[in-house]
Chain A
Amino acid sequence: QVQLVESGGGVVQPGRSLRLSCAASGFTFSSHGMYWVRQAPGKGLEWVAVIWYDGSNKYYADSVKGRFTISRDNSKNTLYLQMSSLRAEDTAVYYCARVVGTASIPYYFDYWGPGTLVTVSS
């Protein structure tokens, strides 16, 4: 069965860095685009970054552009999010999600990981 499992969250001081991982199994990872989506405590969902199935395209929300980097290793079935210059407002649960769609149009996010909590605090 399809599984996505995030790891790497924790408490980090403002200005520091953290790398999140999302281990995928149960499907052909290299065939799917992947998103990172976050949710601040008690708040709604916010997309963070997307990467194409082959890593050829990467896009970021304005709130993280220049600070976060999305990447993937299809040989290891793993998605990453390198976060730097972290701010208090980056505190959130971070989810990885699989997107289903065509090359140009997404249809839906059908599988999500359970999430990993990142807390940015001194």
Chain B
Amino acid sequence: DIQLTQSPSFLSASVGDRVTITCRASQGISSSLAWYQQKPGKAPNLLIYAASTLQSGVPSRFSGSGSGTEFTLTISSLQPEDFATYYCQQLNSYVPITFGQGTRLETK
């Protein structure tokens, strides 16, 4: 199975900061990667798919890049509502789907 490793696992930042989260795959997955945001007690929400395509309705301060084994999610200017946990997900095939372990973004 393809493993995904996110870094960092925890990130402290302030409103207005630029933050970057990295997701590394254990083998190449082309651009078959999505990013989700999850707030406490809520379901994950799709932000980015195909590594860099912004989901409709998602603010443009979110962006994704990468291909192969290394991917990044960048928030250009943190807003108060962005403090949450972020997960990457590989979709190289229907089975198995795997997620990164998550990155918890907290206010400094």
Contact = CB atoms under 8 A, between A and B. Distances in A.
A42 to B, nearest CB: 10
A11 interface: no
A81 to B, nearest CB: 16
Interface stretch (A24-32, A68-76, A84-92, A105-113): A105-113
B84 interface: no
Contact of A61 (B44, B45, B50, B96): B96
A46 B97 CA distance: 8
A107 B49 contact: yes
A109 B95 contact: no
B99 to A, nearest CB: 4
Contacts of A101: 91, 94
10 contacts: A45-B89, A45-B102, A59-B94, A59-B95, A104-B94, A105-B93, A105-B94, A108-B55, A109-B44, A113-B43
Interface of A: 33, 35, 44-47, 50, 59, 61, 95, 99, 101, 104-110, 112-115
